[in-house]
Structure 1
Amino acid sequence: MGCIKDVPTLRGDNYTEWRKKVDLAFVCAEVDWAVDTPQPPKPTEPVREDKDDDAAWEKKKREYAPLEMSYTLENKKWVTANKKCMAFIKNTIEHAIVDSIAECASVGKYLEKIKSQFTGSSKIYAIQLLKQLVTKKYTGGGRGIREHILRMSNMAAKLKPMDADLELKPALLVHLVMASLQKEFDTFVVNYNMQPERWDIEKIAMCVQGEDIIKFSYGGFLNYVKDNKKKNFNQGNQSSSSKPHGKAPM
């Protein structure tokens, strides 16, 4: 269970990622079977009836002995695995949250309660991601447009584990990326719209080449307008004979 350090602390909006890491930790520790396996039922002890003579009673006890031994071993194995899983889970949940979750005898039921409690949080988080995808704009800076595209792709990927119906089709994601580009990429977008084939998110990374062309045309600088204020981003230290459209940040 040493991989506990790789499991994020459950805070509310990261339930999907937390559960994936918890399941992986259980698999690595070979205790994942305890999640779906109920506690072994104790076998019914034999009862001596009035008609049973000594021989019949001894036979009943002999037949019960291996059942009792098997139960003892299986139950001990289950209790140990269940205890490890419960302790692991409780140590990866924020203290305020773990106190609000009702105690359960089995780790399987405990995980069901956690899932039920955070279903609403996951829906809220999904709505937030969708809003970000629709409204996100590329404003330059950072590591360039490649990083911008990867961020949008990662946000879209987070929707699928929450609900299969929320998975964005590649074509829709490409359109969202195109819509997020500033007017400096209008020529690129027009060229894309004129193409007969559809692009996937990998091919649209060709926008990087378009950014390089724009950067060269501005002498190594990209100017973006946001909130009616011009922002200048130095995209490299290469010198250019053309006059820059702004000062490089100090």
Structure 2
Amino acid sequence: MFPLLDGSNYPSWRKKLVMALTIADIDHAIETPRPMLPVLAAQDTPAAAAAAAADNPARQMSYDLEKAKWERSNKKCLMVIKGTIIPTTRDAIPECESATEYLQKIKDQFTGSTKAYAGALIKKFANAEYDVSGIREYIMKMSHMAGQLKTYEMEQKEDFVIHHILNSLPKHYKKIYIQTSLSRRTTTLRAKGSATFSKARALCMCCGKKGYHTKNCVDFLKWLNKSKIPFEEDPAKRGKKH
């Protein structure tokens, strides 16, 4: 499977990208320079200039054909390259007109200046605002950016990440999030409180120890077994069997 560039796998991504472009036969734009418009050299002699002028229609046609071929390849290469980069990483890479320039920008980001990329990434994370892509997608994108910062030893604390994402949401989403969060915390606290209270009340009538009831006491169970008395989990149900 073709790997997506996430900032930590540049060497393997570049190798497989070039291979894919070559196999698809659309690598012309990254193998050949952008075609130049044919012009007469200033140092040409009058005779050479006259000959070039006579040959100009053929040269112009050759240029037009090469230009069209190169531009088609360049467009396809850019589409493939951008499609194999995760959105948060792609957004931190400057736009370029040619695939060759774009690949060079990527190389500079991940091999020559890691700090520059990390700086651009944290700036993007800090200035991020909710878009119309959907709340789930936005939160996932922000979480992924936070994960990338960890790769560059710029890890942000989880509480800060959550707080920052919450602050970047529209007001109506903030209200829903806060209500849901409070509801979950209240439920959790009630459950913990109930469990703590139940545990505190527990007292074994056999050994006198706290923390568990008599029915869970090892000594009590041993005594029942030794006395050949059948164990009943709920003594209150004795005599109610039909």
**Larger C-alpha radius of gyration, 1 or 2?**
2
- TM-score where L is the length of structure 1: 0.39
- TM-score where L is the length of structure 2: 0.41
Higher RCO (C-alpha under 8 Å, 6+ residues apart):
1
Structure with greater proportional strand content? 1
Structure with greater proportional helix content? 2
